[in-house]
Structure 1
């Protein structure tokens, strides 16, 4: 259970697909009574399986950037196209650090105040005529007030009474920083309510976060299989939910295993350093490594390289100006290790490029996959001290400007935009993830 093994699996998947592709083409051509011999030979040549040489196409988000960097280093000669989007510092990840992720996180709160001011009173319930600084100060005051004095919420429509605390608000903020475009309207609404000592909206949100099935009778399979059987972990979420046990197992296996020898005092020092990086989500982020203090299994195969190589085709790295857990800095850091790599800088907030909607980014990534052309030009991002290929893209939708992801009405494309298929794909991706 390690990233190196999955990278090898990806190569195998492409090999098996190449084999199937060639066989399927021949099968269909045997049924073809209209094409000429030359036309059939052209198809056979174009769809031939190149044994042990099949080229890879890959688009990885977040941890997927670690997997992609590992794939691109171990199998550099196989890379046909690779987009690493929302880039983690793979050096830090493989060292088991998780310590280079939060350098830009808390700036998201500043952007909430800015977008609220720009959106106006009609789009932002916590808008204030005196500007972003006052809006930000009011948010901080609301958080502090809730910390000092939690709010009681009476029973309403069958939902039992509750008490909302600063911890509930911290959990909300921890989630919304991943997708401000999608969640800033909800956040502003909840903050407005809390400012008037109304905790109902936050209590409702907290209830929605409870695990599926909590409070419901156990299913028969769980009763028969026992409390730790797979049936006891079923979820009503469509497609299932993210398995954090698997996430921890992979992360701990990829790391060097030195957390097993860590004392409580050493872990507290680590947690204090991470918490100092971000007041918003630092404490929760530090907890990611906690399971590794008890993870004894070691992988048979672990990548221990330096993430430097020359790939068969240059990689495209992509990142946002403010990403809460994979800062833009990491995109440039990782790109510097791969010959000829390019960087797509999307001037927005949120996690990965799908955290916003940018036709410019969508076109650049599509063009790269279809033609291999890196976006922008050499030195196209001089402000970032990057002398390789680079391009800056602006978003087409920004938070608190009237767009709501929970409304069934699909937003219109920018004025004059004809590529509605790409627009719908990008908006849909933002609505689905994370």
Structure 2
């Protein structure tokens, strides 16, 4: 049986409570190149904000670490704040990688700003210079790696679900014992207030301009609902359903288009047989997809050796999941799948390593996973006490998506047993009339955030519009489309929304043969996205 734990609800109308603490000005200066690497003109800065917004008289502060990509064209029209998802993805590192391309998308007249999340669990050598909330679940990297390595996919074995439930209880206990004092201070509502604190400190026009992707759309919907009068321009791109994010036992709707995105790999492959190694003879898309399903089921029981490395169910499925972030992965993915299906695996390991972006899990990846646990689980209001009571949740996930159904079982089970709740959770209905209307964007083939969520969330925000992008990949940035580029840049320049029902087409299909001589602005964004996705 589900139970709802009481969640503290702070008054959302108290605008004075979100002002930055102490000196509101941000002191900008050179960035540490080892922390923030970029080819753009960047500066870094710190801003002290309230550590606990439910205690406005407290002297305890948190130092937000920010990066700013300066406007290419002057005078600047102001600042746009970004959140790249996760929750827990680094803001500074992601903006450093994507800054030059995003400057083009925003028309070049805006300063672009992002800050790192409240929660960081990296060793000191990986941390920035400012204060982050010391949220952690273990005392050392060995224990942390052991904890994270147990987070398998639900269908990886006949006993996986039971192990995941028990591991969820262990993780919940470990994190509570280690971070009970801080685990309630990293929720989304506090980050929404951080956004407003940054706006106040910038001393521009007092209005928030914001572009949120993936989880960043939940953050955006939250801040727009809490502070509708402070919204100037806002793009929510690759939209989560915030109602389910906060108030459901799992993010069911999030995976409702995942099978369509998975199938898109094979239909696109068949449409370009000269460029897709997996397309052989007269195989149909359905036949190729079934061959990959057969491969997944085979390695589940009989993992494939690649030199000294063992490719099993979790590795293979994880690689496919990652490759669904953008079609720029698909040529390499289908090369690997063809090698595995045909048994010609002599050169498969280097391809696998290239797809994975290296031979080890990055510190950024670990941070994001811990961030998902700490932030999402603290925000979620549903708790489940018994394994047998959670099985209907698993069953619904499996029915929602054949491919993705077991991918998020682990995090859902951890959240079900989480022992810390955010001190503030937005408990409204996401019905708001913002100062200026919001632009929602959704891809028809996004396996992580379906188009239906963009429409569902848009329905609560008066005068907002949904832009459909007919393409595969996560968020509009993953789809090379001049149509999308023009609509987004026009929106930032003068606030013009597309007409309702507007659908943008991709400039080129997956598996297009784009040579270095034909590179364009979309190749730059693809290069940055590859690096960002591999960090998360």
Superposed pair shares fold, TM > 0.5 = yes
Do the aligned partners of residues 302 and 201 (structure 1) sit closer, same or farther apart at CA in structure 2, a change above 3 Å counting?
Answer: farther
Give the alignment of 1:196-207 within 5 angstroms.
196-200=342-346, 203-204=349-350
Do the aligned partners of residues 275 and 266 (structure 1) sit closer, same or farther apart at CA in structure 2, a change above 3 Å counting?
Answer: same
In 2, Cα distance between equivalents of 1:76 and 1:410? 46
The equivalent of 1:195 in structure 2 is: 341
The equivalent of 2:258 in structure 1 is: 105
Would you say the 8 A contact 1:317–1:331 is kept in 2?
A: yes
Would you say the 8 A contact 1:354–1:429 is kept in 2?
A: no
Would you say the 8 A contact 2:336–2:352 is kept in 1?
A: no
Kindly state the Cα deviation for residue 351 of structure 1 after the two structures are TM-superposed: 0.9
Kindly state the Cα deviation for residue 373 of structure 1 after the two structures are TM-superposed: 0.3
The equivalent of 1:78 in structure 2 is: 230
The equivalent of 1:248 in structure 2 is: 373
Would you say the 8 A contact 1:168–1:206 is kept in 2?
A: no
The equivalent of 1:328 in structure 2 is: 451
Do the aligned partners of residues 198 and 123 (structure 1) sit closer, same or farther apart at CA in structure 2, a change above 3 Å counting?
Answer: closer
The equivalent of 1:8 in structure 2 is: 193
Give the number of the structure whose alpha-carbon radius of gyration is greater.
Answer: 1
Do the aligned partners of residues 195 and 300 (structure 1) sit closer, same or farther apart at CA in structure 2, a change above 3 Å counting?
Answer: closer
Would you say the 8 A contact 2:431–2:460 is kept in 1?
A: yes
Q: Hey, which bits of structure 1, 4+ residues long, moved more than 6 A?
A: 210-214
In 2, Cα distance between equivalents of 1:55 and 1:423? 30
Kindly state the Cα deviation for residue 431 of structure 1 after the two structures are TM-superposed: 4.0
Kindly state the Cα deviation for residue 140 of structure 1 after the two structures are TM-superposed: 3.2
Structure 1: state its 5+ residue gaps. Answer: 19-48, 155-160, 215-233, 378-388, 414-421
Kindly state the Cα deviation for residue 120 of structure 1 after the two structures are TM-superposed: 1.9
Kindly state the Cα deviation for residue 73 of structure 1 after the two structures are TM-superposed: 0.7
The equivalent of 1:401 in structure 2 is: 512
The equivalent of 2:312 in structure 1 is: 165
The equivalent of 1:274 in structure 2 is: 397
Give the alignment of 1:98-137 within 5 angstroms.
98-137=251-290
Would you say the 8 A contact 2:214–2:475 is kept in 1?
A: yes
Kindly state the Cα deviation for residue 324 of structure 1 after the two structures are TM-superposed: 1.0
The equivalent of 2:422 in structure 1 is: 299
Do the aligned partners of residues 141 and 253 (structure 1) sit closer, same or farther apart at CA in structure 2, a change above 3 Å counting?
Answer: closer
Kindly state the Cα deviation for residue 75 of structure 1 after the two structures are TM-superposed: 0.6
Q: Does 1:265 align with 2:388?
A: yes
In 1, Cα distance between equivalents of 2:319 and 2:426? 35
Q: Which moved more, 1:130-139 or 1:283-292?
A: 130-139
- After superposition, the C-alpha distances for 1:291-334 in whole angstroms (9 at most, x for unaligned) are 22442222222110000010000000001001112100000001
Kindly state the Cα deviation for residue 366 of structure 1 after the two structures are TM-superposed: 1.0
Kindly state the Cα deviation for residue 250 of structure 1 after the two structures are TM-superposed: 1.0
The Cα RMSD (Å) is 2.6
Do the aligned partners of residues 120 and 433 (structure 1) sit closer, same or farther apart at CA in structure 2, a change above 3 Å counting?
Answer: same
In 2, Cα distance between equivalents of 1:299 and 1:130? 51
Kindly state the Cα deviation for residue 67 of structure 1 after the two structures are TM-superposed: 0.3
In 1, Cα distance between equivalents of 2:286 and 2:422? 50
Name the SS of the counterpart of 1:10 in structure 2: helix
- After superposition, the C-alpha distances for 1:91-113 in whole angstroms (9 at most, x for unaligned) are 11110431211111011232122
The equivalent of 2:25 in structure 1 is: none
Do the aligned partners of residues 104 and 349 (structure 1) sit closer, same or farther apart at CA in structure 2, a change above 3 Å counting?
Answer: same
Q: Which moved more, 1:261-270 or 1:98-107?
A: 261-270
The equivalent of 1:349 in structure 2 is: 472
- After superposition, the C-alpha distances for 1:385-415 in whole angstroms (9 at most, x for unaligned) are xxxx241101113222224xxx8x36444xx
In 2, Cα distance between equivalents of 1:390 and 1:285? 32
Would you say the 8 A contact 1:164–1:199 is kept in 2?
A: no
The equivalent of 1:183 in structure 2 is: 329
So what's the TM-score if we normalise by structure 1? 0.73
Q: Which moved more, 1:66-75 or 1:161-170?
A: 161-170
Q: Which moved more, 1:143-152 or 1:6-15?
A: 143-152
Would you say the 8 A contact 2:232–2:435 is kept in 1?
A: yes
Would you say the 8 A contact 1:93–1:255 is kept in 2?
A: yes
- After superposition, the C-alpha distances for 1:330-357 in whole angstroms (9 at most, x for unaligned) are 0000111011001110000111111221
Kindly state the Cα deviation for residue 212 of structure 1 after the two structures are TM-superposed: 7.4
Structure 2: state its 5+ residue gaps. Answer: 1-185
Do the aligned partners of residues 344 and 56 (structure 1) sit closer, same or farther apart at CA in structure 2, a change above 3 Å counting?
Answer: same
Q: Which moved more, 1:192-201 or 1:298-307?
A: 192-201
Name the SS of the counterpart of 2:258 in structure 1: coil
Name the SS of the counterpart of 1:112 in structure 2: helix
Name the SS of the counterpart of 1:332 in structure 2: helix
Would you say the 8 A contact 1:121–1:127 is kept in 2?
A: no
In 2, Cα distance between equivalents of 1:331 and 1:2? 23
Kindly state the Cα deviation for residue 60 of structure 1 after the two structures are TM-superposed: 0.1
So what's the TM-score if we normalise by structure 2? 0.60
Kindly state the Cα deviation for residue 426 of structure 1 after the two structures are TM-superposed: 4.0
Q: Does 1:87 align with 2:233?
A: no
Would you say the 8 A contact 2:378–2:422 is kept in 1?
A: yes
In 2, Cα distance between equivalents of 1:108 and 1:424? 21
Higher helix share: 1
Do the aligned partners of residues 130 and 293 (structure 1) sit closer, same or farther apart at CA in structure 2, a change above 3 Å counting?
Answer: closer
